[in-house]
Chain A
Amino acid sequence: MTITEDAPPITEAIAAQGVARSFGDVRAVEDATLSVRKGEVTALIGPNGCGKTTLMLMLAGLLRPHAGQIRVAGADPRTDAAAVRAAIGWMPDQLGSWDNLTCLQTLTLMGEAYRIPKGTARERGMALLERVHLGEFAHRPARVLSRGQKQRLSLARALVHDPQVLLLDEPANGLDPRSRVELRILVRQFAAEGRAVLVSSHVLAELDEMVDEAVFMSKGRTLGEQAAAMVADARLKYRIDAIQPAALHAALTAGGVDFEPTPTGAVTRIADEPNAAQALAWLIRQGIEVHRFGPVGSALEQTYMAMNEERR
């Protein structure tokens, strides 16, 4: 699947508005609003127990929301749940595999469950196993897989029916560093293929590298504008470290630049990369011995920490 020039004008693959769901008297999701566009990766970020998985289940058409509107790939899960499920590739947070079956059998049977002819399902299963680097395990039973390998099998399983929308719940859990990098690459590829990807994770540094948009969630609510502004602001922040911080502070003050002093230098806001290059050149011209100059770090992590919400 690739995006063609005459792609349909509707780019929102998932649109959720004011979604709420409670279990007994526990209000798991109180008010969630988000949209995920085709060809983009959107992160769903929040502390443990803030309702991420519940929200994903509702988006996947597995759980009925008590309030709010959801549309996935143009279908309403309340009236057209089967169409919603068919459009979605869902990678659950819980690892489940048929231990007695081989990886290839698992994917073939799963493909058949989507009414794909057996031969095609098998071929696609093999291609997917190659894609998630499990090709050598194709004929080994799933019980021999490690946690990270099962995670990758689960990702391959979510792709058997070539879904337009991917919901990945904690896909990076249990993955080794190389697999994380590969996952990041895969996720970008999925988006490049025109799929809409919603991914939740705790590993914020990972997400920074792969997402286009981020939705923050706290206590069952999505934080819309406010969090987006915080992320945008965090993205502007540059850290400047100089041999003599005092000289740096003096130069910045003299130049009329807003900054936050740090023990080793300063943090300031710079709009974009050309501006950053100009700023660095200006500092050098001022005779400041800059030894470190760059973005502060994970914008998502900064926002997450700044949200300062209590963990549940």
Chain B
Amino acid sequence: MSTDTTTQTPPPRPDVPVSPPPRTGNPWMPTPHGVSLMMRIELRRRRPSAKGYVFYGILFAIVIAICIAAAVFAPPELSSVNFEIVLIMVLGVGMLIAPSLSATSINGDSGEGVLAPLQMSHLTAGDIAVGKLLASWVVSVVALVALSPFLIYTFLNSGWRWNEALLTVGAILLVVLTFTAVGLAWSSIAARAVASVALAHLTTGFFLIGTLIVFGVASILVTEESASRDRYIDWSTLDQEASAALDEAYMTGDYSQLDPDDYTCIESDWPMTITHTDRIAWILLLNPAVMITESAPVVDPVTWEEDGRAAPGMFAMIHSLISDARLGPDEEVSDFQAYDECAELQGMIDGTVPTYDEDMTQEEIDAFFAADEAEQNERQQRLANLTPAPWIGLGVQLTLLIGSMWIVIRRLRVPYKKLRTGTRVA
């Protein structure tokens, strides 16, 4: 253990003195400096390679082709459908790319051995977590910016107002941010990148499609089979005289000659199903896509032209479907009254129930159908104008976002209490 080697060493080179600030405790809160530095590191590191640019180029070519096609085949009048398609593209691209990036961010770095040196530095767990989240999310913002010419072009023809468009775009970016955070959380939990990417997309799939399936299954549970009981006159037990008298009365509308005691009643049960979707509509409202469409403007199916809007598009249609589920079965159906022939007959004999007039005029028939149609339209208008309910979805998004980041920060804090199984620290 001689130290003679030091005698032949050149004197140490002039050092650049540095004085990093002292640290105490074990802070974890994100800081503006730390977050922006972490974002810079991530964005520089993940600058796509030549192959990456080709991939993104192809992806954008496809997206742009769809947008152009939508624009070309667009009818000249106002139409919100094209704008909605571009919005869905932004959502789709964001949901595919950003969570994929974030889902490999932590376990990938840990495997490459570049995470621990950052944890050793003055960057806090919050800095690393939020920096990584925003760096992945920014990619989908770039996608939005890249699509902005189409977004603006289709917007101008959509009948939406500026603030409404901004609100919905904001909702889309929030959903992308949330699922980027979910991907990051999975990457802090799972040891392997393959697992965390799969889990991230499964989570997204659960909220986008799974909620619809759960709604479908749950609707069986809220379907009531109320046995409806009708009462009829038992024709088979009538003697000939009574039967003829009744026929006669139905023909003439004169019931005064009948004796109620001649007619025995029978009861007949038949099942009537009512699905109380109003009880499970909240499952649909958990869906992030529903949250986005619920943030879109309300389009009245009757007065849209006077309102300066385009005809109800996809988002408005989805809103109506959701509203239908929220309102549940039509009140008339639930207030269904059993048919009671005997009581009616009794009423007509007593004269308390008006007898039918055989001869309905054409006007009366028309009026009857018009009333029916008006009733239908009224329901449609009511559904379309029902106050949007994005709040449950927003709550889900914020809970997922905050919960995911909480998990990520906890798992990034050193000293580690325990490690992901099958991993090393460095």
B112 within 8 A of A: yes
User: Which of A23, A78, A210 contacts B419 (CB under 8 A)?
Assistant: A23
B22 cross-chain contacts in A, Cβ below 8 A: 83, 86
* Beta-carbon contact of B414 and A85 below 8 Å: yes
* Beta-carbon contact of A86 and B122 below 8 Å: yes
B26 cross-chain contacts in A, Cβ below 8 A: 79-82
User: Which of A23, A96, A127, A235 contacts B117 (CB under 8 A)?
Assistant: A96
* Beta-carbon contact of A101 and B5 below 8 Å: no
A216 within 8 A of B: no
A57 cross-chain contacts in B, Cβ below 8 A: 425-426
| Those of A123-160 within 8 Å (CB) of chain B | 123-124, 127, 130-131, 157, 160
User: Which of A53, A79, A185 contacts B5 (CB under 8 A)?
Assistant: A185
Residue of B nearest to A89 (CB): B120
* Beta-carbon contact of B23 and A98 below 8 Å: no
A23-B419, A90-B116 given. 4 additional CB < 8 A pairs? A100-B45, A101-B44, A120-B16, A160-B18
B21 within 8 A of A: yes
B interface, CB within 8 angstroms of A:
1-3, 5-6, 9, 12-27, 33-34, 37, 40-41, 44-47, 112-123, 414-417, 419, 421, 424-426
A170-198 interface bits toward B, Cβ cutoff 8 Å, 1 = contact, 0 = none: 00000000000100110011001100000
A13 within 8 A of B: no
* Beta-carbon contact of B20 and A86 below 8 Å: yes
Known contacts: A111-B18, A209-B1, A209-B5. The answer to whether A62 contacts B415 by CB under 8 A is yes
A192 to B5, CA, bound (A): 12
User: Which of B9, B20, B113, B120 contacts A60 (CB under 8 A)?
Assistant: B120
| Those of A68-99 within 8 Å (CB) of chain B | 77-83, 85-86, 88, 90, 92-99
* Beta-carbon contact of A79 and B16 below 8 Å: no
* Beta-carbon contact of B6 and A192 below 8 Å: yes
A interface, CB within 8 angstroms of B:
1, 23-24, 53, 57-58, 60-64, 77-83, 85-86, 88, 90, 92-101, 105, 109-116, 120-121, 123-124, 127, 130-131, 157, 160-162, 181, 184-185, 188-189, 192-193, 208-212, 214, 235, 299-300
* Beta-carbon contact of B25 and A80 below 8 Å: yes
* Beta-carbon contact of A98 and B415 below 8 Å: no
Known contacts: A86-B20, A115-B21, A193-B12. The answer to whether A188 contacts B3 by CB under 8 A is yes
Q: Shortest CB–CB separation between residue B56 and chain A, in angstroms?
A: 16
User: Which of A1, A96, A185 contacts B114 (CB under 8 A)?
Assistant: A96
A212 to B12, CA, bound (A): 20
A86 to B27, CA, bound (A): 12
* Beta-carbon contact of B13 and A127 below 8 Å: yes
* Beta-carbon contact of B3 and A113 below 8 Å: no
User: Which of B1, B12, B421 contacts A235 (CB under 8 A)?
Assistant: B1
User: Which of A62, A100, A105 contacts B116 (CB under 8 A)?
Assistant: A62
* Beta-carbon contact of A184 and B5 below 8 Å: yes
Residue of A nearest to B416 (CB): A63
* Beta-carbon contact of A62 and B119 below 8 Å: yes
Known contacts: A58-B415, A62-B416. The answer to whether A110 contacts B18 by CB under 8 A is no
A88 to B416, CA, bound (A): 17
User: Which of A62, A98, A111, A124 contacts B41 (CB under 8 A)?
Assistant: A98
Q: Shortest CB–CB separation between residue A249 and chain B, in angstroms?
A: 29
* Beta-carbon contact of B13 and A131 below 8 Å: yes
* Beta-carbon contact of B415 and A101 below 8 Å: no
Residue of A nearest to B13 (CB): A131
Known contacts: A109-B41, A114-B122, A188-B3. The answer to whether A79 contacts B25 by CB under 8 A is yes
* Beta-carbon contact of A61 and B415 below 8 Å: yes
Ranked nearest first, the 4 interchain pairs of A and B with the lowest CB-CB distance are A96-B113, A94-B113, A113-B121, A82-B23
Residue of B nearest to A208 (CB): B1
* Beta-carbon contact of A82 and B27 below 8 Å: yes
* Beta-carbon contact of A92 and B426 below 8 Å: yes
Q: Shortest CB–CB separation between residue B123 and chain A, in angstroms?
A: 5
A253 to B146, CA, bound (A): 92
* Beta-carbon contact of A100 and B44 below 8 Å: yes
Q: Shortest CB–CB separation between residue A247 and chain B, in angstroms?
A: 31
Q: Shortest CB–CB separation between residue B40 and chain A, in angstroms?
A: 7
B2 cross-chain contacts in A, Cβ below 8 A: 209
B21 cross-chain contacts in A, Cβ below 8 A: 115
Residue of A nearest to B38 (CB): A113
B34 cross-chain contacts in A, Cβ below 8 A: 113
Known contacts: A60-B120, A77-B415. The answer to whether A124 contacts B16 by CB under 8 A is yes
* Beta-carbon contact of A90 and B415 below 8 Å: no
Residue of A nearest to B12 (CB): A189
* Beta-carbon contact of A64 and B20 below 8 Å: no
* Beta-carbon contact of B9 and A185 below 8 Å: yes
User: Which of A81, A88, A109, A161 contacts B415 (CB under 8 A)?
Assistant: A81
* Beta-carbon contact of B426 and A94 below 8 Å: yes
A235 cross-chain contacts in B, Cβ below 8 A: 1
B45 cross-chain contacts in A, Cβ below 8 A: 98-101
A123 cross-chain contacts in B, Cβ below 8 A: 16
* Beta-carbon contact of A88 and B120 below 8 Å: yes
* Beta-carbon contact of A188 and B9 below 8 Å: yes
9 A-B residue pairs with Cβ-Cβ distance under 8 Å, sorted by A, are A86-B23, A90-B120, A94-B426, A100-B44, A100-B45, A113-B118, A124-B15, A188-B5, A208-B1
* Beta-carbon contact of B122 and A189 below 8 Å: no
Q: Shortest CB–CB separation between residue B48 and chain A, in angstroms?
A: 10
* Beta-carbon contact of B14 and A162 below 8 Å: no
A193 to B47, CA, bound (A): 39
**Counting chain B CB atoms within 10 Å of each CB, which of A61, A83, A92, A193 scores highest?**
A92
A63 cross-chain contacts in B, Cβ below 8 A: 414-416, 419, 425
Residue of B nearest to A188 (CB): B6
A298 to B253, CA, bound (A): 125
A235 to B46, CA, bound (A): 52
A305 to B47, CA, bound (A): 50
* Beta-carbon contact of A96 and B414 below 8 Å: no
User: Which of A23, A78, A85, A127 contacts B15 (CB under 8 A)?
Assistant: A127
* Beta-carbon contact of A98 and B6 below 8 Å: no
A192 to B13, CA, bound (A): 13
* Beta-carbon contact of B25 and A109 below 8 Å: no
Residue of A nearest to B42 (CB): A98
Residue of B nearest to A298 (CB): B1
Q: Shortest CB–CB separation between residue A42 and chain B, in angstroms?
A: 11
Known contacts: A62-B415, A188-B9. The answer to whether A115 contacts B1 by CB under 8 A is no
